């Protein structure tokens, strides 16, 4: 592929990723709020995911399920654009051939995940801190939280809090995500040919979404807790991640590492499906339009 063609292909991936990311947020945010609150709420505050959903709507209103959406909605264009572009570039680095093996796909996904953490970390941090407010009079707007995190802790310990645990989460998450997605697509392609029906793309995306969380969920619990803390973590990333994992197990047993997993898996089906459907349809349109 010529340099100009590579640039055009990357731009197509950036644009398609933005559309896919917006679809993901709009579809998945309510259950993402349930997931985050399950991870970070004080012990005994909720009886389970359904209780979180019902209490949130009853006490704060339906729109509270979209609390914290501004951060990912505005940031998701950059996050998903970076992710899909990084994945496309990673595939081209790993192999000059368009059809990668599943092992190569996992490696490209891991590379893309590590790169994606640069933008995903602050977006997630602001979202978690918004979702960790329960409708009190002292609740803060996103702009206030952003200003306080910057003024009190600066860029590294404030805005980028939880960066290394986000990296640790994204590497296995996207290795699993893209491997499951590609495996599903190839199985469908054997039966239906390379031009898959939309439902097959949706099903493949859903499979990838579930693999994402099954590959990384305990680290997501750690990330949410670290990002919500009033003070930044201390020690090396390995030390504070290990300390947080031990704290979660001490508080709720091994099951605590998977608190909120069920609504997350349910959310992953429509969220990932809509992401890939929007991404693939946009990318195909741009390929036809630009010829790349």
pLDDT by position in tens, the chain (length 292): 555 677 777 788 778 878 887 888 888 889 999 999 999 998 889 999 999 999 999 999 998 998 888 877 777 767 777 887 899 899 999 998 888 999 999 999 999 999 999 999 999 999 999 999 998 888 999 999 999 999 999 999 999 999 999 999 999 999 999 999 999 999 999 999 988 888 898 899 889 989 999 999 999 999 999 999 999 999 999 999 999 999 999 999 999 999 999 999 998 888 877 887 788 788 888 888 877 6
- What is the topology classification, in CATH, of domain 3-290? Mitochondrial carrier fold (1.50.40)
Helices (H), the chain: 3-40, 49-60, 70-94, 102-131, 142-154, 163-192, 198-228, 237-252, 261-290
Name every residue whose Cβ is closer than 8 Å to that of residue 29 and which is 6 or more positions away in sequence: 65, 66, 68, 69, 72
State residue 168's pLDDT score.
97
Extents of the domains making up the chain: 3-290
| Sole residue written with tokens 């590609």 | 182
State residue 9's pLDDT score.
76
d(CA 287, CA 281): 10
State residue 4's pLDDT score.
65
Helix axes of 102-131 and 163-192: crossing angle, nearest 10 degrees = 130
d(CA 97, CA 95): 5
d(CA 33, CA 7): 37
Nearest CA to 125 among 30, 237, 264, 224?
A: 224
d(CA 114, CA 171): 6
Nearest CA to 110 among 133, 93, 98?
A: 93
d(CA 84, CA 55): 36
Query: Structure tokens of 219?
Result: 């680290």
């Amino acid at each position: 592929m010529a340099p100009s063609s590579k640039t055009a292909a990357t731009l197509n991936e950036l644009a398609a990723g933005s559309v896919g990311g917006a679809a993901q947020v709009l579809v998945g945010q309510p259950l993402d709020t349930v997931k985050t609150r399950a991870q970070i709420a004080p012990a005994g505050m909720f009886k389970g995911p359904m209780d979180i959903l019902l209490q949130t709507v009853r006490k704060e209103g339906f729109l509270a399920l979209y609390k914290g959406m501004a951060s990912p909605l505005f940031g998701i264009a950059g996050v998903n654009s970076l992710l899909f572009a990084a994945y496309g570039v990673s595939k081209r680095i790993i192999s000059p051939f368009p059809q990668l093996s599943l092992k190569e796909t996992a490696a490209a996904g891991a590379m893309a995940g590590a790169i994606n953490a640069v933008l995903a970390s602050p977006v997630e941090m602001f979202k978690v801190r918004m979702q960790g407010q329960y409708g009190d009079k002292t609740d803060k707007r996103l702009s206030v939280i952003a200003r306080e995190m910057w003024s009190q802790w600066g860029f590294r310990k404030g805005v980028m809090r939880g960066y290394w645990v986000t990296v640790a989460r994204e590497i296995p998450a996207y290795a699993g995500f893209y491997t499951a997605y590609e495996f599903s697509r190839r199985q469908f392609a054997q039966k239906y040919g390379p031009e898959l029906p939309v439902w097959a793309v949706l099903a493949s995306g859903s499979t990838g979404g579930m693999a994402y969380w099954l590959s990384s969920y305990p680290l997501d619990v750690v990330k949410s807790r670290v990002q919500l803390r009033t003070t930044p973590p201390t020690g090396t990333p390995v030390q504070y991640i290990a300390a947080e994992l031990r704290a979660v197990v001490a508080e709720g047993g091994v099951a605590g590492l998977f608190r909120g997993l069920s609504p997350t898996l349910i959310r992953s089906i429509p969220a990932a499906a809509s992401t890939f459907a929007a991404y693939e349809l946009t990318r195909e349109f741009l390929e036809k339009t630009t010829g790349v």
